[in-house]
Chains A and B, each alone.
Chain A
Amino acid sequence: MDLAYSQEYEKYRAEVREFLDANRDQSPPQFGRGNGESKARDWQKLLIENGYAARTIPKEYGGFGGEPDILKSHIIAEEFANAGVRPGHSGDNRLVPTVLELGTEEQKQWLVPPTVRGDMVWCQGYSEPGSGSDLASLSTKAVVDGDDFVINGQKIWTSGAQHADMIFCLVRTEPDAPKHQGISYLIFSMDTPGIEVRPLVTMTGEATFNEVFFTDVRVPKHQIIGNRGEGWFVANNTLKHEREGLGDPNQAENRFREIVDLMQRETIDGNRLIDNPAYRDRLLSLQGRMLAMKFNGMRVLTSQIKEEEPGLPRWIIKLQGCELNHQMAAMAIDSMGELGILYDDGPYLRDQGRWQQRYMLDLGLIIGGGTAQIQKNMIGERALGLPKEPKFEKPLN
């Protein structure tokens, strides 16, 4: 156990800090949508040049071309978060690694550079109304007609589809094959004729995701990653990259600090919330859980540096991290009491209403990216070795 960073990394950290001090004025606002605006694009360009975004993406595909170094990536994320500066992006942390790993040379040239620049924004067409947790049962179909696939069907929960330029999409191309072997992974423009996007308003009152309808959408046959029928394998590659982002312990620690700050400001009967023993005890319980997850994250990071499989400590991050974030938002709202039911705007709204937003969005995250129940199945089956539920090939009534 040695929690110090070597001189090389301390020096690197100092460089990141120096960069942030000198350039933070040029960064776009921390929160806000869209990568397309020019300030965000310039910021991304500057970050790539300095190796703080798209760090390990090869130069020929528009990245910085650095050697993979988990500790450096960790230092960058930590320093940007501590400075409250908007970090760069790798284009799309689901699609880009997938294309780099499984795409053809032509696809890499076509897709990666504009995505990394922020000129090509993606959405993910996976879930369907009838295929949620049982994603492999999806029924959006693509049939070959000449040089094209012709797609008909519907996707749902498609985040950002209303702003996206492109979609990576799972479709059934081999209806007679077993369900996991009949799927293909297609990529196409959201401007293709026959696509209709209907925003889906959520409990927060905003539309973060959409329903996407396909009617005779024609996609050239070469716009496929991997071979026909291999889409499930390709998609699992993508999901692996997505899940790693959910339940980040650094985010939980920053949120915890925000709650402490809130409870030191907020008063009830003229007394600070943090001075109330019942609220304080609940705060301390959350701190214990947060710290356990923080150190668990350090353990996972150490395994990754050593190129070892982290195992159980990583399997639990999505389940525990999202739940912890939700509980912290709940604590913040309870600290505000009646003020915590205020919404949208108004003179008494605290912290721009972000706790109320988070309380609902975090529930969405507990469900999205593999529900808590699916997570528990995976932990039970893959990490603990418990047997799977028997499956029924024919529907049960």
Chain B
Amino acid sequence: MDFALTEEQLMLQESIGGYLRSACPLDSVRESSESGDTHTPKIASGLVELGAAGILIPDQFGGVGMGLLEAALISEALGAVVAPVAFVASSVMAPIALLGAGSDQQKEAWLPQVANGEIVIGVGVSEHIGRRETNGIVADKGALSGKAMFVLDSMVADALIVADTSGRLYLVRTDDVTRNKLKTVDRTRSVAEIILDETPAEILPGSLNNQNHLNNMINAGRVMLAADTLGAATAMLEQAIEYAKERRQFNRVIGSFQAVKHMCSEMAADLEPCRSLVWYAAHSISAIPNEATLMACHAKAHLAEIGQLVARKATEVHGGMGFTDLLGLHYWFKRIGFNRQLLGAPEIVREEAAVAQGWT
């Protein structure tokens, strides 16, 4: 019984975290987000060198072949610095789909390029989680038609993996589709609407009669977003604590006032157990598959709730400055807000958790 990170995982956490803290200060986040760059080349290439882009991709396809818990630690580190870089779709969801349902030829063709950073693959599955503004994608004679919304990492992608209405997975090239960028509150990430009109597509053959691959991909994506929120909320809390130790009013630092101190303690008390929940959920995807859906749903929903609380209270601790652009806290606030809605808002995923336990 050992519910802790291994030495190797701690080292990974330290190397990725250390790299990101120096490569991705707030100024560069600001710069990227103002120029609309959601896959900053400098950060992306550094992550490739550290193995993060191919974290789940086995050695034979040029990756480092680690598990979902390692991927979650990377996602957490990205959230901590609100890194403007593609990861959740391209390095986690797409490799899971390709490894699970792709043909040997597809794996050979795509995985090495994801691992070495040559390409980015976006993912469009939100029609299976709560369809809005579209009737989904229909396949006919090897071509896809219809519309996918909120396709993650898509504006910087070379290819996309999308699900049709029956849950089958397909690869399409972004050159063959119409992409309309959707401006969102979080400018560190890209989502788009993708319009397909008899677009040539390659099916991932393993998904032909098996929706598990779609589910696995969604579970992993949810845990990654939860981990990203964990990192972002932890960073907000740290900034709030630091501010509360420095800012003086009435001849005292404001952190000595119980009203402020208790807000910090509440954030810490709510957030700390989230870390264990994210670890467990990530671990369950590889090690305890019968619990994976339930735990991924709970991690996604619970982090969305606690993330929202922390984002709000940490901003409040900073007083008026927290509300300004000057401090830049809003980048974390918005990232947490983005993570909350994508791949299922809390009410939606909790209902899926109920279904997973046979309570409906």
**Per-position binary interface string of chain B over residues 254-265, scored 1 when its CB falls under 8 Å from any chain A CB and 0 otherwise:** 011110011011
Distance between Cα atoms of A295 and B360 in the complex (Å): 26
Does B351 belong to the interface (CB within 8 Å)?
Answer: yes
Q: Is the CB of B1 within 8 A of A9?
A: yes
Chain-B contact segment, one of A106-114, A118-126, A384-392: A384-392
**How far apart sit A242 and B171, CA to CA, in the bound complex (Å)?**
59
CA–CA, A78 and B272, complex, Å: 24
Number of A-B contacts (CB under 8 A): 155
Closest to A272 in B: B359
A296 and B273 in contact, given A9-B1, A380-B261 (Cβ under 8 angstroms): yes
Are B360 and A275 touching (Cβ within 8 A)?
Answer: yes
- Tell whether B321 is near chain A: CB-to-CB under 8 Å: no
Q: In chain A between 238 and 263, which residues have their CB closer than 8 angstroms to a CB of chain B?
A: 260
Contacts of B233 in A (CB 8 A): none
Q: How large is the interface on B (under 10, 10 to 19, 20 to 34, 35 or more residues)?
A: 35 or more
Mask for A8-27, Cβ within 8 A of B = 1, else 0?
Answer: 01000000000000000000
A228 to chain B, nearest CB (A): 34
| Residue of A296, A388, A389 touching B272 (CB-CB under 8 A) | A296
With most chain B CB atoms within 10 A of its CB, the pick from A3, A4, A377 is: A3
Per DSSP, are chain B's interface residues mostly helix, strand or loop, or mixed?
A: helix
CB closest residue in chain A, given B6: A1
**Minimal beta-carbon separation of A267 from chain B (angstroms):** 15
- B298 interface residue (CB < 8 Å to A): yes
Q: Out of B256, B298, B305, name the residue touching A287 (CB < 8 Å).
A: B298
B251, closest chain A residue (CB): A390
What is the minimal beta-carbon distance from B340 to any residue of chain A, in angstroms? 14
CA distance A289 to B305 in the complex (A): 10
Q: Which of B265, B295, B301, B350 has the most CB of A within 10 A?
A: B265
Among residues 354 to 390 in chain A, which have CB atoms less than 8 Å away from a CB atom of chain B? 373, 375-377, 379-381, 383-390
B264 & A285 in contact (Cβ 8 Å cutoff): no
| B293 CB to nearest A CB, Å | 13
CA distance A373 to B69 in the complex (A): 35
B347 — nearest CB in chain A belongs to which residue?
A281
A296 to B275, CA, bound (A): 8
Q: Which residues of A contact B131 (CB under 8 A)?
A: none
Decide: B3 and A316 in contact? CB cutoff 8 A.
no
Q: Give the shortest distance, in Å, between B313 (CB) and chain A (any CB).
A: 13
Judged by a CB distance under 8 angstroms, whether A293 is at the interface is: yes
Query: Quick one: which of A270-301 are within 8 Å of B by CB?
Result: 274-275, 277, 280-281, 283-285, 287-289, 291-293, 295-296, 298-299, 301
Contact across chains for B245 and A1 when beta carbons are under 8 A apart? no
Residue A131 at the chain B interface, CB threshold 8 Å: no
Say yes or no for B23: interface residue by CB 8 A criterion: no
29 contacts between A and B (CB under 8 A): A3-B287, A280-B354, A281-B347, A281-B350, A284-B351, A284-B353, A288-B305, A289-B302, A291-B277, A291-B280, A296-B272, A296-B275, A298-B3, A298-B280, A299-B4, A302-B1, A305-B2, A373-B258, A376-B258, A376-B269, A379-B265, A380-B262, A380-B264, A380-B265, A385-B245, A386-B241, A386-B245, A389-B256, A390-B252
Q: Besides A1-B4, A277-B351, A292-B302, 20 other CB < 8 A contacts? A: A3-B3, A3-B288, A280-B351, A280-B360, A291-B295, A295-B279, A299-B4, A302-B4, A312-B268, A313-B273, A320-B273, A373-B262, A377-B262, A384-B268, A385-B241, A386-B261, A387-B256, A389-B256, A389-B257, A390-B256
B→A interface (CB under 8 Å): 1-6, 9, 69, 241, 244-245, 252-253, 255-258, 261-262, 264-266, 268-270, 272-277, 279-280, 283, 287-288, 295, 298, 301-302, 305, 347, 350-351, 353-354, 359-360
